[in-house]
Copies of this chain bind each other. A is one copy, B any other.
Amino acid sequence: MIQKNIDCEKCFASPDAIFSLLTPEELEYVKKHHSCAYYKKNDILFKEGDEPIGLLMLSDGKIKVFREGVGRREQIVRMVKPFGLMGFRGLFATENHIATAVALEDTVICIVDKDDLMKLIRENSNFAIGIIQALATELGFSNRRTVALTQKHIRGRLAESLLFLKDTYGLEDDDATIKIYLSREDIANLSNMTTSNAIRTLSTFASEEVISISGRKIKIIDLKKLERISALG
């Protein structure tokens, strides 16, 4: 699965990626020592219980990270977009992965092994602060999400998920269609509801002309209304 030193240039070039915080020497070092991995749609990057191997940066593609709860029902806790970091939390909490990561489309990731990661954190305080920022942002997201998922009703949860997907992956050229191709089941697992209810509620939103649906493509027609539904709960 893992091929050495191919095709993560984007990770090293993008100003959005955490590697932009490295010194030229460190960057050179990482370029030499990292690995790349390629995954096809539905491939598993890591599973709950696996030992973390280091820092994974998504170079290309989309990933869902979920936990299995009661009755193997999955709850998506994160959606990753390019240059997002994964897989290193457990290293620091000294535990194995508590979630599973699956590619939603063909995906390339960049891997920095744990020793190199620790080395960078120790040597470069900017990089360490970058890691802290990533965790702090993610924790904020998680706390907000906990409350939204537990307190909002189905319509509110689904509306919030759609807005979240829009914010995360953006819109297509029509400036309306959410740039992700998710099954109804994934949308349900993101929004803490059954697949039936995700389908049903999406249909309702469509009939209310808040969104329009064409297969798995979801177009936001009335953003204000969608935001209102989300805010109201």
Q: A75-B150, A133-B93, A150-B149 are in contact. Are A122 and B121 (CB under 8 A)?
A: no
Choice from B70, B89, B99 contacting A151 with Cβ under 8 Å: B70
Q: Which residue of B lies closest to A91 (CB)?
A: B136
**Interface residues in A205-233 (C-beta closer than 8 Å to B):** 232-233
Contact call A133/B75, Cβ cutoff below 8 A: no
Closest CB-CB distance, A32 to chain B, in whole Å? 22
Is A135 interfacial (CB-CB < 8 Å)? yes
Bin chain A's interface residue count: 35 or more
Contact call A92/B151, Cβ cutoff below 8 A: no
Q: A125-B128, A128-B132 are in contact. Are A148 and B69 (CB under 8 A)?
A: yes
A187 CA / B150 CA spacing, docked (Å): 15
Q: Chain B residues with Cβ under 8 A from A233's Cβ?
A: 69-71
Is A95 interfacial (CB-CB < 8 Å)? yes
Choice from B73, B92, B123, B147 contacting A136 with Cβ under 8 Å: B92
A208 CA / B69 CA spacing, docked (Å): 26
Contact call A129/B92, Cβ cutoff below 8 A: yes
Quick check: which of A137-145, A161-169, A176-184 contacts chain B, the rest being far away? Answer: A137-145
Is A77 interfacial (CB-CB < 8 Å)? yes
Contact with B along A76-116 (1 / 0, CB 8 A): 01000000000001111111001100000000000000000
Given A69-B233, A93-B140, A139-B142, 7 more pairs with CB closer than 8 A: A69-B148, A77-B147, A92-B133, A92-B136, A123-B125, A135-B136, A145-B146
Q: Chain B residues with Cβ under 8 A from A71's Cβ?
A: 233
Contact call B121/A67, Cβ cutoff below 8 A: no
Is A31 interfacial (CB-CB < 8 Å)? no
Contact call B92/A144, Cβ cutoff below 8 A: no
